[in-house]
Structure 1
Amino acid sequence: MQPKVYLNGRFLPAEEAHVSVMDRGFLFGDGVYEVIPCYGGRLFRLAHHLERLDHSLQGIRMANPLSHPAWQEILERMIEQLPSGDQSVYLQVTRGASGKRDHAIPGEIEPTIFIMTSPAVYADPAKIGSGVAAITLQDNRWHRCNIKAITLLANVLLRTDAVDQGAAEAILIRDGKAMEGAASNLFIIADGIIITPRKSEHLLPGITRDLVLELASANDTPFNEAEISEQRLKDADEIWLTSSTKEIMPVIELDGVRVGNGKPGPIFLKMSGLYADYKSRLQAGTVEN
């Protein structure tokens, strides 16, 4: 049986869930979203995801329609529908429907809240073991990439360009600096140090990204948040991508050129092991989330 979705206070079958054609999410992409993994019945870093949701909503001049405890209650009811196995929970908040199509934000409007869950789909272990190819593309997105907005057409086209060229991801270059992937955060290894771009309006503050840095700090692995020039990216000893769905993915080829020795590097292997251990402890309920 397919799990029910949540729409504006109701749990109902997906085929019975309907949104107005006047919804500003449909007309303008006026909304934000989160994707939250669930391991062993435990929502991954829920407080961090809800804090990021707060920031995204503030960025588009919306108040959070629910308190954090209310979100947690609904999300926990949602994941109870799939009691076995890991899940991926998607939530979306749009500004809602008004009586007319107008670019100006209406004064009084009821937001649309939508949530769905599905069994987790992980990256192919063979790809993690052998690594993936990536290409660099110019970052043509807007200047508020720190907002997790549903307006993802630029990301979709950039990622599709990468797939068309036989790559798994596009690493985006803005003003000569590497920002992030079309759907992932970016890490490199240079001189034995983990480097990831510092947070700014030009990249999404990733939950998995932050966990990787926490694990590095707790395990005496040096890291730095700093600008990564395009040349430094190309000269990196290792390149990784992180996201809620990719977790940690090594890049072994960039723009057709081998990265390092063309295999996942030793620091990736260390951090991947630490991440897998954290995930196992989370599934077992033996780690603070």
Structure 2
Amino acid sequence: MERIVYLNGKYISESDAKISIFDRGFLFADAVYEVTAVLDGKLVDNAGHLARLKRSCGELDLELPVTTEKLTSIQKELVKLNNLKEGGIYLQLSRGNAGDRDFAYPVDTKPTLVLFTQVRSLLECPKAKNGIKVISLPDIRWKRRDIKTVGLLASCMAKQAALSAGADDAWLVEDSYVTEGSANNAYIVTAEGTLVTHHLSNDILHGITRKSLLQLAEEAGIQIEERRFTIEEACEAREAFVSSATTFVWPVISIDDYQIGDGKPGPVAGMLRKIYIDIALSTAD
């Protein structure tokens, strides 16, 4: 059976969902998005995702056509209509159909709001159990990575380059320092046991899962440093891992074919993943 999707106020079959070729999301990537994980049919960390959506809209002078309360009700209705137990909900908001192609923001354009569900195995995932291999690549993305836009071609290129090299993902490097992964935040645990991840700035996405994990790490008594680190420092780390809304925590076992630690998923990553999932299952709405 086809999925039921949401498009501009209507719940319709995915094959019936149509958007104009003049939509600015299509022509200019003039759009923002969010992905919320679903566990046991409930939304995980959704308030954080919708708060970040509002921030992204504000940074781009993009009108959010409904309230966050309404968005939540739409998400929950899609979960129900598609009988989604585990996976995610994708939400995208573009500036809409401008009637013709023009670089300047149009006046009085109705935004295009799209949501759809995706079935994914989040809890039982081989990459979470066995770890992933990453390669390092130059970060060629634009300078406002804190805005969650759909302009993801550079990230797609990085992901594909990693797969072509026999790895699972890429860590992006700018001015000799790691920013983040192709679609996730990056972390290392130093030989002394300190958890290190890039500080918040325009250089990285302000991850919702990242925020939760740092709170959990602090509560567990782990020393935290929000700062830049190099690939060389990462290779000498005790362990490494990534986080995102639908991976939660995935250990990194090698970087550029250099083994991290003992080449197995580390205890800090494992502990944080377990605690995060336990809390997500108990607090998801």
Q: TM-score w.r.t. structure 1 length?
A: 0.93
- Determine the C-alpha separation between the residues in 1 that align with 2:123 and 2:274: 15
Q: One-letter code of the match for 1:76?
A: K
Instruction: Report the equivalent of 1:282.
Output: 283
- Determine the C-alpha separation between the residues in 2 that align with 1:185 and 1:197: 8
Q: One-letter code of the match for 1:149?
A: T
Aligned to 1:5, what secondary structure does the other structure show? strand
Verify: 1:184 aligned to 2:213, yes or no. no
Instruction: Report the equivalent of 2:62.
Output: 62
Instruction: Report the equivalent of 2:227.
Output: 226
Instruction: Report the equivalent of 1:201.
Output: 202
- Determine the C-alpha separation between the residues in 2 that align with 1:132 and 1:84: 27
Aligned to 1:156, what secondary structure does the other structure show? helix
- Determine the C-alpha separation between the residues in 2 that align with 1:70 and 1:112: 15
- Determine the C-alpha separation between the residues in 2 that align with 1:282 and 1:39: 10
Evaluate the alpha carbon distance shift between residue 83 and residue 14 of structure 1 in structure 2; reply closer, same or farther with a 3 A threshold: closer
Verify: 1:90 aligned to 2:90, yes or no. yes
What is the Cα deviation at residue 42 of structure 1? 1.9
Q: One-letter code of the match for 2:253?
A: I
- Determine the C-alpha separation between the residues in 1 that align with 2:99 and 2:272: 51
Instruction: Report the equivalent of 1:286.
Output: none
- Determine the C-alpha separation between the residues in 2 that align with 1:68 and 1:276: 24
- Determine the C-alpha separation between the residues in 2 that align with 1:16 and 1:88: 21
Aligned to 1:134, what secondary structure does the other structure show? strand
Greater CA drift, 213-222 or 99-108: 213-222
Aligned to 1:80, what secondary structure does the other structure show? helix
What is the Cα deviation at residue 278 of structure 1? 1.7
Q: Is the 8 A contact 1:36 1:49 kept in 2?
A: yes
Evaluate the alpha carbon distance shift between residue 126 and residue 38 of structure 1 in structure 2; reply closer, same or farther with a 3 A threshold: closer
Instruction: Report the equivalent of 1:151.
Output: 151
Q: Is the 8 A contact 1:194 1:223 kept in 2?
A: yes
What is the Cα deviation at residue 70 of structure 1? 1.4
Q: One-letter code of the match for 1:199?
A: L
What is the Cα deviation at residue 52 of structure 1? 0.6
Unaligned 5+ runs, structure 2: none
- Determine the C-alpha separation between the residues in 2 that align with 1:63 and 1:15: 27
Counting only pairs closer than 5 Å after superposition, residues 1-289 of structure 1 correspond to structure 2 as 1-83=1-83, 85-122=85-122, 125-190=125-190, 191-282=192-283
- Determine the C-alpha separation between the residues in 2 that align with 1:72 and 1:125: 27
- Determine the C-alpha separation between the residues in 1 that align with 2:187 and 2:158: 19
Unaligned 5+ runs, structure 1: 284-288
RMSD, aligned α-carbons: 1.6
Greater CA drift, 51-60 or 134-143: 51-60
Greater CA drift, 121-130 or 76-85: 121-130
Greater CA drift, 226-235 or 101-110: 226-235
Q: Please list the CA deviations of residues 175-232 of structure 1 after superposition, one character each: whole Å capped at 9, or x if unmatched.
A: 1111100111101001101111111111111111111111112222222211113322
What is the Cα deviation at residue 124 of structure 1? 6.4
Q: One-letter code of the match for 1:238?
A: E
Q: Please list the CA deviations of residues 238-282 of structure 1 after superposition, one character each: whole Å capped at 9, or x if unmatched.
A: 110111122101111110110111111122222222123223323
- Determine the C-alpha separation between the residues in 1 that align with 2:124 and 2:282: 22
Q: Is the 8 A contact 1:37 1:244 kept in 2?
A: yes
Aligned to 2:81, what secondary structure does the other structure show? coil
Greater CA drift, 89-98 or 36-45: 36-45
Q: Please list the CA deviations of residues 72-112 of structure 1 after superposition, one character each: whole Å capped at 9, or x if unmatched.
A: 12111111123462231001000001122101111221100
Q: Is the 8 A contact 1:39 1:282 kept in 2?
A: no
What is the Cα deviation at residue 67 of structure 1? 1.1
Q: Is the 8 A contact 1:31 1:95 kept in 2?
A: yes
Q: Is the 8 A contact 1:159 1:170 kept in 2?
A: yes
Q: One-letter code of the match for 1:102?
A: D
Greater CA drift, 271-280 or 33-42: 271-280
